């Protein structure tokens, strides 16, 4: 991603901000439940810090796209564990063969659903692609946030603290994977929501809910170096089945979700990124935006105060161009 692409992404998110309320009004399923998952994982993170729990290496998930059958059980498990709006598991499993189908449109995670599975065709062959937060090694969302609402854990998960968020949405602009979602339907206290990599489970020695429920061994959870070793072992042992590329090993500085596939990732909707971390591209631009906000805030506040004062005086019948005495003399002259 170059600087021009980054600016284009900024303008795209700005446009989505304007139409967000309309989009949300058309889909009642996007509603989250008070950011329970993000609050819970952040609390667990604070608890692990006080306990002095350390990890010698971060975790990762290896996802084999050649094995995914599109059952969407991972979506159900994610919603269930994170207390997001959910439906019976059977509805998810049967959706693949229904018409019209949930797969008719390309989806992205939103405020009430942290992971989605899309169906993309390579010729006549369907390929199912799971999408969620990539939990970058050098996260752009963390770098873009000026109130430190994001934190990178030793386990590899990128967590979000709703209590610190001011709703600026810089994280949405910075993320190259379009992951942070916004509660557009909440006009008073909207917040960002995102996948937590089930940090509250991982911190207790469990694996992410989506990995646990998968019945076709699409996902494998473990230390990142081990997942990379396993990925290349699969590729080298089955060169006819996989392309020689582990997506996430180097992209944007590396991620904690790694993918192997039999189709080039560009054909599957993955952004083409180089090894350079996104913060190296975004930090100067976002810093400039913040400076401009500070510079323009004062005259905007003063202008608003002046207009309110003018309206208030007009309502009281006071001539703001002169003194109250002038107004009194004018009225007596009548």
- SS3 of 159, please? strand
Nearest to 175 by CA among 40, 6, 2: 6
pLDDT in tens, 123-172: 999 999 999 999 999 999 999 998 999 999 999 999 999 999 988 899 99
If residue 330 lies in a helix (H) or strand (E), which one and from where to where? helix 324-333
* Length of the chain measured in residues: 334
Contact predicate 267/129, CB 8 Å: no
Task: Say what the pLDDT of residue 30 is.
Answer: 57
* DSSP character string of 265-312: GGGGT-----SS-THHHHHHHHHHHHHHHHHHHHHHHHHHHHHHHHHH
* Alpha-carbon span 219 to 329, nearest angstrom: 84
pLDDT value, residue 293: 66
Q: Which of 18-27, 77-86, 126-135, 273-282 has the lowest mean pLDDT?
A: 18-27
**What are 247-296's pLDDT values in tens digits?**
999 999 999 999 999 999 999 999 999 998 888 776 666 667 667 766 77
- CATH for 3-286 is 3.30.70.20
Asked whether the beta carbons of 181 and 84 are under 8 A apart, the reply is: no
Q: Could you tell me the end-to-end alpha-carbon distance of the chain, in angstroms, rounded to an integer? A: 72
Structure tokens that stand for 246 in this block: 């582990």
Name the token pair of 234: 């699969």
Distance CA 113, CA 76 (A): 9
Structure tokens at 130: 């799971």
**What average pLDDT score do residues 105-113 get?**
93
Give the Cα separation of 94 and 57 in Å (integer): 39
Run of H or E residues at 172: helix 170-174
Structural tokens at position 271: 């952004």
Q: What percent of the chain has pLDDT over 70?
A: 79
**Domain boundaries in the chain?**
3-286
Joined together, the tokens standing for residue 334 give: 């009548």
Residue 174 carries which DSSP code?
H
Beta bridge partners of 71: none
Angle between helices 36-51 and 73-82 (to 10 degrees): 70
Residue 148, C-beta contacts closer than 8 angstroms, at least 6 positions apart: 164
In which band, very low, low, confident or very high, does the pLDDT at 21 lie, cut at 50, 70 and 90? Answer: very low
Q: Is pLDDT larger for residue 310 or for residue 258?
A: 258
Question: What's the pLDDT at 20?
Answer: 42
The answer to whether 190 and 167 have CB atoms below 8 angstroms apart is yes
Give the C-alpha separation, 270 to 248, whole Å.
Answer: 10
Q: Which of 127, 170, 131 is nearest to 283 (CA)?
A: 170
- pLDDT, one tens digit per residue, over 184-234 is 877 777 889 999 999 999 999 999 999 999 999 999 999 999 999 999 999
């Amino acid at each position: 991603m170059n600087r021009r692409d980054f600016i284009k992404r900024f303008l795209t998110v700005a446009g989505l901000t304007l139409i967000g309320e309309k989009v949300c009004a058309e889909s009642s399923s996007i509603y989250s439940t008070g950011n329970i998952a993000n609050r819970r994982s952040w609390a667990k993170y604070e608890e692990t810090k006080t306990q002095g729990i350390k990890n010698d290496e971060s975790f990762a998930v290896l996802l084999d796209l050649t094995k995914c059958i599109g059952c969407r059980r991972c979506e159900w498990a994610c919603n269930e564990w994170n207390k997001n709006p959910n439906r019976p598991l059977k509805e998810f499993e049967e959706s693949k063969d229904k018409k019209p189908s949930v797969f008719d449109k390309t989806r992205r995670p939103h405020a009430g659903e942290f992971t989605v599975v899309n169906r993309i065709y390579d010729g006549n062959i369907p390929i199912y692609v799971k999408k969620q937060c990539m939990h970058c090694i050098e996260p752009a969302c963390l770098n873009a946030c000026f109130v430190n609402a994001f934190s990178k854990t030793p386990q590899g998960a990128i967590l979000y603290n709703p209590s610190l968020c001011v709703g600026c949405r810089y994280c949405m602009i910075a993320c190259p994977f379009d992951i942070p979602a916004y509660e557009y339907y909440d006009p008073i206290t909207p917040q960002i929501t995102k996948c937590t990599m089930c940090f509250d489970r991982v911190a207790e020695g469990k694996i992410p809910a989506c990995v646990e429920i998968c019945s076709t061994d699409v996902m494998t959870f473990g230390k990142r170096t081990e997942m990379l070793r396993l990925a290349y072992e699969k590729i080298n042992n089955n060169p006819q089945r996989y392309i020689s590329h582990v997506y996430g090993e180097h992209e944007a500085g590396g991620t904690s979700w790694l993918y192997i596939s039999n189709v080039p990732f560009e054909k599957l909707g993955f952004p083409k990124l180089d090894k350079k971390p996104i913060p190296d591209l975004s930090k100067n631009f976002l810093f400039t935006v913040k400076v401009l906000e500070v510079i323009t805030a004062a005259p905007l506040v003063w202008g608003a105060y002046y207009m309110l004062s003018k309206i208030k005086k007009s309502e009281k019948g006071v001539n703001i161009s002169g003194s109250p005495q002038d107004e009194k003399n004018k009225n007596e002259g009548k």
